[in-house]
Amino acid sequence: MKNRYCIIMAGGIGSRFWPVSRTNRPKQFLDFFGTGHTLLQLTYDRFRKIIPPENIFIVTNEQYEGLVKQQIPDADDKHILLEPQRRNTAPCIAWAAYRIQSIDPEANIVVTPSDHLILKEDAFAECIDKGLEFVEKFPALLTLGVKPNRPETGYGYIQIGDESNGDINTVKTFTEKPNQELAEVFVESGEFFWNSGIFIWNVQTIIKAFQRYLPEVSARFESGIGKFNTSEEKEFIQENFPACQNISIDFGLMEKASNVFVLCADFGWADVGTWGSLYDISSKDKNGNVNQEGKSLIYESDNNIIAVPKDKLVVIEGLKNYIVADSDNVLLICRKDEEERIRQIVNDAKAKFGNEFI
């Protein structure tokens, strides 16, 4: 257990969940399921059962330092890595890897987003344990693949290769979000799994991968060796992190490396990344409507998701397949099948009105 570590990525804005998710309080800091726990708290609690709490690191934007400390009061300041600017997932993972290497050069690491739903916690723990044992023995970059139960167009997919070690296979290809027809082909083939965005690797393996495939990023952090986990680290990060390439770990590294494997499993996973994904995993009335919190009167309306404050009554009539979301000073009414436009809507609102509604 002592060589096992976890990196929780909690710095995103969550713009696809606007207007409920805002810049000052993104979705990972919200209680989406009415459990009394935010997505970040659920993630932290899930991993503290698997990884020693003193080995769990949370990477977030410096803007959210207060929120993280408020929601995870057990986390030591040294375990909260504050990004001075957003640079996507590759630089934040690199920073955390170099920090952990300075503490434990033999560390085996799980990297996870902070906004996933896991329904089968015991199966998930077994999966993580199996993955950590694998990367301890082999210099592999391991990702978790989830067996699809429907042709989902909102997730990326992983095609498994021919070589396997039990539930662990080589990766043949990564595929971005497919259209409906292609998603149906993927599911029918039995060769494609949802890309969970959860990774497992040894610290030396991931640093070597950065050195080979993202040398500009690794060079930045290599220049800081000796400063990590010291009083000099903060100043070094402030100077160097903003200069890192803005790139995802998938595109910058996983899709290029030759030592990528996938552990295929079924642990009740969902990426709570969009209104549509929240709709899919929420309980519905007889007409397929989801009502998040507020009071509602619904007439001749089907397959909608409604998210309004608890003290508000919403009345809808004649709506089919819509998102109705009311939060603070914004009301959004948008077709579910057009939700990919929400990011553009956020950009338009910012361009026209500044940050008032963002």
User: Does any domain span residue 15?
Assistant: yes
User: Does any domain span residue 358?
Assistant: no
Q: Residue 152: pLDDT above 90?
A: no
Note the pLDDT tens digit of each residue in 281-298.
889 999 999 998 778 999
244 and 339 assigned to the same domain: no
188 and 291 assigned to the same domain: no
- Decide if 78 contacts 56 (C-beta within 8 A): no
> Domains in the chain: how many in total?
2
Both tokens assigned to 145 = 């693949």
Name the β-bridge partners of 59: 9, 81
237 and 99 assigned to the same domain: yes
Q: How far apart are the first and last CA of the chain?
A: 42
Q: Three-state DSSP class for 325? A: strand
Q: Is the pTM of this model over 0.75?
A: yes
Section 218-228 average pLDDT? 97
pLDDT at 142: 97
83 and 216 assigned to the same domain: yes
Omega of the bond prior to 19 within 30 degrees of 0, cis?
A: yes
pLDDT at 244: 97
Give the CATH number, domain containing residue 82.
Answer: 3.90.550.10
pLDDT at 293: 79
Q: How confident is the model at residue 232 (pLDDT cuts 50, 70, 90)?
A: very high
Q: How confident is the model at residue 149 (pLDDT cuts 50, 70, 90)?
A: confident
Section 196-202 average pLDDT? 96
User: Does any domain span residue 276?
Assistant: no
175: nearest Cα among 162, 198, 163, 191: 191
User: Does any domain span residue 279?
Assistant: no
pLDDT at 99: 98
Give the angle 275-67-201 at the CA atoms, nearest 5°: 75
Q: How confident is the model at residue 277 (pLDDT cuts 50, 70, 90)?
A: confident
- In the chain, the percentage of residues whose pLDDT exceeds 90 is 76
Section 266-291 average pLDDT? 89
73 and 183 assigned to the same domain: yes
User: Does any domain span residue 277?
Assistant: no
Question: Dihedral through CA 107, CA 112, CA 114, CA 115, nearest 10?
Answer: -170
Q: Which residue has the higher pLDDT, 38 or 148?
A: 38
334 and 214 assigned to the same domain: no
Query: What whole-number distance in Å separates Cα of residue 118 and Cα of residue 267?
Result: 7
Work out the mean pLDDT of the chain and round it to a whole number. Answer: 93
Q: How confident is the model at residue 151 (pLDDT cuts 50, 70, 90)?
A: confident
pLDDT at 167: 82
Query: What whole-number distance in Å separates Cα of residue 177 and Cα of residue 277?
Result: 13
User: Does any domain span residue 135?
Assistant: yes
Note the pLDDT tens digit of each residue in 159-178.
998 777 778 999 999 988 88
Q: What is residue 251's DSSP assignment?
A: I
Q: How confident is the model at residue 155 (pLDDT cuts 50, 70, 90)?
A: confident
Q: Residue 1: pLDDT above 80?
A: no
pLDDT at 46: 95
304 and 177 assigned to the same domain: no
Q: How confident is the model at residue 323 (pLDDT cuts 50, 70, 90)?
A: very high
**What is the span of the domain harbouring residue 320?**
284-353
Section 114-130 average pLDDT? 93
Query: What whole-number distance in Å separates Cα of residue 270 and Cα of residue 194?
Result: 10
pLDDT at 270: 81
Note the pLDDT tens digit of each residue in 52-111.
999 999 999 999 999 999 999 999 999 999 999 999 999 999 999 999 999 999 999 999
Looking at 271, 304, 333, the residue that finishes a domain is: 271
- Decide if 144 contacts 262 (C-beta within 8 A): yes
pLDDT at 40: 97
pLDDT at 292: 86
- Decide if 288 contacts 321 (C-beta within 8 A): no
- Supply φ then ψ for residue 259, to 5 degrees: -105, 40
Q: Which of 50-64, 130-144, 151-165, 206-220 has the lowest mean pLDDT?
A: 151-165
157 and 51 assigned to the same domain: yes
- Decide if 131 contacts 144 (C-beta within 8 A): yes
